Structure 1
């Protein structure tokens, strides 16, 4: 229906808001795309803007995944519409039309959506913290969390603990995360992935920064 299509389109536009760039410019006068990894999400914000701004970026990006689920349920929309809207919000975060279809890597927005759809996924946060603490590889923790979430949600759906709309949405969000981490995967294989705390370097292709 038109209402469902409008809701999904709204979720995409909400997800596409590049909070890392907005807060970076507003608070620090810095365009994240020109620094560190060039990504617009929490990890690069932490490297470039400091922990206070990165926390705000994380919470706002996380909320972009929560809002479609809660608002869709409030409107009593079909669970499949809610699920699609949540995936689309993550896609918007990763390929934002506001910044030339660039963006973040989807972990915060995908995490917000996944946890709101299936709260048990929140148990992956301490797992990620342990992996980061042991390896200092945020990308590795993100990829493992995406894979574990996919396995957990499919198992839960097969046991009848969660609906199939959620069981489809969470793996799709995980696929987006993996796609956006392609470069990280290549560097992990080569052993050249930058560890958390190491000095950042400018992105290979600096963005065209609008006035």
Structure 2
């Protein structure tokens, strides 16, 4: 069982590391790392290639987290391994070996992981994200606020260790957005819908 758990976590990392944004952009003749923010994620794809490709990337990135958790559940590995697989998928997305251990910021994959582990926390995540982006058109602000709300909700739902896992994911997501935070403070952050 420990070997199966380790292999499942490794598979989750490798699945999470599939750079959908970069590969889809490449089919359009675009190197996503050299346009816009240089981020390999759905928001940069939306700015560079439009809504359709961005929706495809977002859906795939969400599934990376959700399917990693689901796989561990199907193998009856228990909630701690399920959480580890979700975290591994997020880490794979953010630090993909296919992109020189660079990647996206983990918003969609974090959401997929959280909603698979704690559906109510995932609901809080998506509601706050949509509301913030709708009101401000700032995806980065929506992402950070949504992850904080998901972490807070996780503490209400328990267990504490799982809430700490969600907190760690929120912390990683915020760290990945550190440049966006600086731009938010400076008032230079791009808003949703702005093209590259």
Task: Name the TM tier (shorter chain).
Answer: over 0.9
CA distance in 1, matches of 2:69, 2:36: 32
**Displacement, 1:111?**
0.3
- 5+ long unaligned stretches in structure 1: 158-162, 201-211
Matched, 1:184 2:180: yes
- 5+ long unaligned stretches in structure 2: none
Residue of structure 2 equivalent to 1:203: none
Residue of structure 2 equivalent to 1:65: 65
More helix, by proportion: 2
Moved over 6 A (4+): none
Structure with greater Cα Rg: 1
**Displacement, 1:127?**
2.5
**Displacement, 1:123?**
3.6
Over the aligned positions, Cα root-mean-square deviation in angstroms equals 1.3
CA distance in 1, matches of 2:188, 2:13: 34
> What TM-score do the two structures reach when normalised by structure 2?
0.94
Structure showing greater relative contact order (alpha-carbon pairs closer than 8 Å, 6 or more residues apart): 1
Aligned residues: 194
CA distance in 2, matches of 1:4, 1:164: 22
CA displacement 1:162-211 (0-9 Å, x = unmatched)? x34532322221111111001011111122211122342xxxxxxxxxxx
**Is contact 1:80-1:165 (8 Å) kept?**
no
More deviation in 6-15 or 115-124? 115-124
Matched, 1:3 2:7: no
**Displacement, 1:128?**
1.7
> What TM-score do the two structures reach when normalised by structure 1?
0.88
CA distance in 1, matches of 2:13, 2:177: 20
**Is contact 2:48-2:195 (8 Å) kept?**
no
Look up the SS of the partner of 2:192 in the other structure: coil
CA displacement 1:50-106 (0-9 Å, x = unmatched)? 111111101111100011111111100021111111111101100111111110010
Look up the SS of the partner of 1:76 in the other structure: coil
